[in-house]
Amino acid sequence: MISAVESAMSIESLIKAQAYGLGFDLVGITSLGPVGTAPAFEKWLSQGYSGEMGYLARGAEKRRDSRLPLPNTTHAIVVGLNYGGREAAGPIARYARGDDYHDVITAKLDDLRAWLESEIGRPVASKPYVDTGPILERDLARRAGLGWFGKNTNLVNPKLGSFFFIGALLVNLDLKDDAPFEGDRCGTCTRCLDACPTDAFVEHRVLDATRCISYLTIENKDGIPERLRPAVGEMIYGCDICQDVCPWNITFSQDLREEALKSRPMFVGRTAREQALELLVMDDEAYRRNFRGSPMKRAKRTGLSRNAAVVLGNVGEPRDAAVLEASRLTADEMVAEHIDWALEKIAARADV
């Protein structure tokens, strides 16, 4: 039953209040239609910067017009969920230390949809998108007023920084648009570009994913190019470096509040070397147990073993050679080559 206070509020205000009540940190509304950044995205694809991510080229027509993924929808309720920019940096990117964000945000958007239908008293054609379909969510988020495109390509919010996920609930409901975020608040700052260990930024707001540590350790299914392995450093899965140095994050990032996104015990208080060694000796049962419901499953056990070998090549100690050699006995050809590289690097450091 709608209270007297609620009856005096617009449906847009009620939606935002409910979204905040569900735990979202940002929420805005925008109409669907032609996508302004689609041409730039298609140019980026044509230049080969997406690497092996062939799925990004699928559904091109739908990416050009956000009304097409779910016919007859008119608006998007766009949300942001903080994942803890004040958490300590480490070998696992902050976003991947807890439960899979796709599941967490989709469940919240489903709850928002159910509340909305109850509030207006009828079914609403809708669909949640969380990095899972032909939707350029970052474009929708800017149009909904949630932030601007930083030089490292991340959406930056002036009150939260960039350590947040973006989700969108497409709905068939006539809503009032929020004002889009206009302007660029990066100014002359290039800290994010300068800090990238692999020089992955071709220019401002253009990322060559094939050089990005996040791509190399997650989406890339082949070997990590040998010339880039030293630059991977201690990163086992993903990379936060270009966000860590951003002044907006240094000043405005927030503590993690969402329980489901908090770090699993295996990532707490342990060095990159210790985590890499554990990954190499982990059997199938332990892998399934430790990574059930984790976004890190995207790299699969083979990818994580490859990444662990590279990290040990960069920071491993002579006593780690035995673990590497034992792991090599059951490794596939690609992982074995990375283990051989790691053994060579550890031996070279020991000879210095």
Tens of pLDDT along 46-102? 999 999 999 999 999 999 999 999 999 999 999 999 999 999 999 999 999 999 999
Residue 212 — pLDDT band, cuts 50, 70, 90?
very high
Structure confidence at residue 272 as a pLDDT band (50, 70, 90): very high
Torsion angle of the four alpha carbons 265, 271, 273, 278, in this order, in degrees rounded to the nearest 10 = -10
- Is residue 282's pLDDT more than 50? yes
Per-residue burial over 89-114, b = 16 or more CB atoms within 10 Å of its CB, e = otherwise: ebbbbbbbbbbbbeebbbebbeebbe
pLDDT category of residue 3 using cuts at 50, 70 and 90 = low
Q: Answer for the pair 165, 96: CB distance below 8 angstroms, yes or no.
A: no
216 φ, ψ (degrees, to nearest 5): -60, -35
Q: Which residue has the higher pLDDT, 294 or 351?
A: 294
pLDDT in tens, 144-169: 999 999 999 999 999 999 999 999 99
- What are the backbone angles phi and psi of residue 78, rounded to the nearest 5°? -105, 130
State phi, psi for 160 to the nearest 5 degrees. Answer: -135, -15
Please check whether residue 27 is in contact with residue 17, taking contact to mean a CB–CB distance below 8 angstroms: no
Specify the pLDDT at position 352.
64
Q: Which residue has the tokens 């031996």?
A: 347
Q: What is residue 5's predicted lDDT score, i.e. its pLDDT? A: 47
Report the percentage of the chain scoring pLDDT > 90.
96
Assessment of whether the complete model's pTM goes beyond 0.85 = yes
Mean pLDDT on 231-258 = 98
Question: For the residues 254-276, what does the mean pLDDT come to?
Answer: 96
Q: What is the pLDDT of residues 114-135, one digit of tens each?
A: 999 999 999 999 999 999 899 9
Mean residue pLDDT across the chain: 96
**Residue 1 banded pLDDT, cuts 50, 70, 90:** very low
Residues 279/237, Cβ–Cβ less than 8 Å: no
Output 7 or 297, whichever has higher pLDDT: 297
206-207 and 201-203 strand pairing? antiparallel
The question of whether 131 is a catalytic residue gets the answer yes
Q: Which domains does the chain have, with CATH numbers?
A: 1-263 (no CATH), 264-352 (1.25.10)
> What pLDDT, on the 0 to 100 scale, is given for residue 91?
98
pLDDT over 70, % of the chain = 97
**How large is the average pLDDT for residues 7-12?**
83
Cβ contact 97:290 at 8 Å: no
Q: pLDDT (tens digit, 9 = 90+) per residue, 217-238? A: 999 999 999 999 999 999 999 9
Catalytic residue among 110, 131, 184, 194: 131
Q: What span, in angstroms and rounded, lies between the C-alpha atoms of 53 and 84?
A: 27
The average pLDDT across 170-186 equals 97
pLDDT tens-place string over residues 306-328: 999 999 999 999 999 999 999 99
CA nearest 263: which of 110, 139, 98, 125?
Answer: 98
Residue 202 three-state SS? strand
What Rg value do the Cα atoms of the chain yield, rounded? 22
